[in-house]
Structure 1
Amino acid sequence: MTERTAIVTGAARGIGAAIARRLAADGLAVAVVDLEESACASTVEEIVDAGGKAAAIGADVSDEQAVARAVAAVAERLGAPTVLVNNAGIIRDDLMFKMTVEDWDTVMNVHLRGAFLMSRAAQQYMVQAGFGRIVNLSSTSALGSRGQVNYSAAKAGLQGFTKTLAIELGKFGITANAIAPGFIETEMTRATAQRMGVEWEDFRSAVIARIPVGRSGLPEDVAHTASFLVSEAAGFVSGQVIYVAGGPTT
């Protein structure tokens, strides 16, 4: 691959960190973006220790000015970003009748507003380069998930956002795709078990029993898919939602 710069949001841990490590191993310079720059240190250190190139960037992806500063900083420190992975996300789970407007807005702002702001800021570099890859992290929760009306709506919204980006940006050599993970072992899925009042191992075993491949997903499973979607070889794949869930979804 031609030397390129990638931005991965929410990359301090979990799926984002795994994607950042994988893209660095693929030869990309990686901007590791999270709310606090200090939280990105371990991911950056892992990449650098493995011989890769990375920089930590602190930014609230829901803040327009913070995003503009962050993307400009990436261009200055690592080079023009032509790969963007919108992974930043949070959960504020509750049943709809108990959910606060604040919890609704917070989830929407990080997932949807954040992906919009980051994509808008980065696409100018992609257009100039005549090459771009945008990958948005959706979820099987987009199909509906009890106690996650905000998260489900945001993740479904990202799928429509992705398809529209593919239509608008395709003529500039830019593709846009979404990855919709199923059950992936992360801090977020552990938090879901806690919310439900279920012991982690019991929760994990119950979910695995319904997964055709017979195991839970790991952040690296998502990272492998992202690696392909941002590659030059994936230039004819755009506007797609790829479910990384160990089996078919409905």
Structure 2
Amino acid sequence: MTETSTSAVARSVVVTGGNRGIGRAIVEKFLAGGHRVASFDMGGEPPEGVLGVTCNVTDSEQVDAAFKAAEEANGPVEVLIANAGITKDTLILRMSDADWDAVINVNLTGAFRVAKRAAKSMIRGKWGRIVFTGSVVGLYGSAGQVNYSSSKAALVGMARSLTRELGSRGVTANVVAPGFIETDMTAVLPEDVIARYLASIPAARLGQPSEVASAVAFLASEEAGFISGAVIPVDGGLGMGH
């Protein structure tokens, strides 16, 4: 295959939440690079040429079954992009236990489950790339997003702990932290909220899913083998230093 920015070698890739928004852009990036890609999602259709697997990342049995399907089709998983995520935004005094639990279960516990499952084949193969989709609000904070920002901040600790556990096996673990990206998730925000954030983003615009996908692809590449435990912001400068 032709060498690309994703990798010089075709890899077996799993992307969770890969049928929409940032996840879909990531899937398309790897597919264009000649990789064998499986998208785990709860709805929607993946791009043509991608193995679509229905998977709820909050269910351990579904996660295991999805990985088995990906492995049978594409070989042992070498690259995992843990991207599945949800929001249930409200101020803390209005946030229910269910709002908290739902977001933590998908965004954090779900990431743990897929990382644990993917690590098995990566350790055996002595090569692997794990990339978590975090968020600028994971370290920057955001009113009304205590559950979401907490789940994304915790991914940094997860990536850095995995780096210490798996680094000697040729496995890296990193976090890409998008800012405000034009997706269905940001489309529901009120105009005044969008305007307020645009005023604070040095780039003076929202990001594109493809820009996040490019950062993810680099971290999953051969060239990024000495980068691990890092948080890579893709936020137009919004969270500088946080």
TM-score w.r.t. structure 1 length? 0.90
CA distance in 2 between counterparts of 1:16 and 1:30 reads: 12
Number of the residue aligned with 1:188: 185
Task: Give how far 1:79 is off.
Answer: 1.3
Instruction: Tell me the alpha carbon deviations over residues 57-104 of structure 1, each in whole angstroms, 9 at most, x when there is no partner.
Output: 100001111100000110001111110000000001111111111110
For the pair 1:149 / 2:139, whether they are aligned, the reply is no
Q: 2:134 aligns with which of 138, 149, 164?
A: 138
Structure 2 length-normalised TM: 0.93
SS at match of 1:133: strand
Taking the aligned partners of 2:13 and 2:55, their CA distance within structure 1 comes to 15
Give the drift of 1:12. 1.1
* Greater helix share, structure number: 1
Counterparts of 1:211 and 1:29, CA distance in 2: 36
- The one-letter code matched in structure 2 to 1:33 is F
1:124 paired to 2:131? no
Distance 1:27 1:237 in 2: 23
What is the alpha-carbon distance in structure 1 between the residues aligned to residue 11 and residue 179 of structure 2? 29
In structure 2, which of residues 209, 213, 216 is the aligned counterpart of residue 219 of structure 1? 209
Measure the CA separation in 2 of the matches of 1:44 and 1:190.
22
**Unaligned stretches of 5+ in structure 2?**
1-7
Percent identity over the alignment is 44
Which residues of 2 match residues 49-88 of structure 1 at below 5 A? 54-88=50-84
- CA shift for structure 1 position 147: 0.3
Question: What is the alpha-carbon distance in structure 2 between the residues aligned to residue 122 and residue 70 of structure 1?
Answer: 11
- Please state whether the residue corresponding to 2:111 is helix, strand or coil: helix
Secondary structure of the 1:175 match is strand
Unaligned runs of 5+ in 1: 49-53
Note the aligned Cα RMSD (angstroms). Answer: 1.2
Partner residue in 1 for 2:227? 237
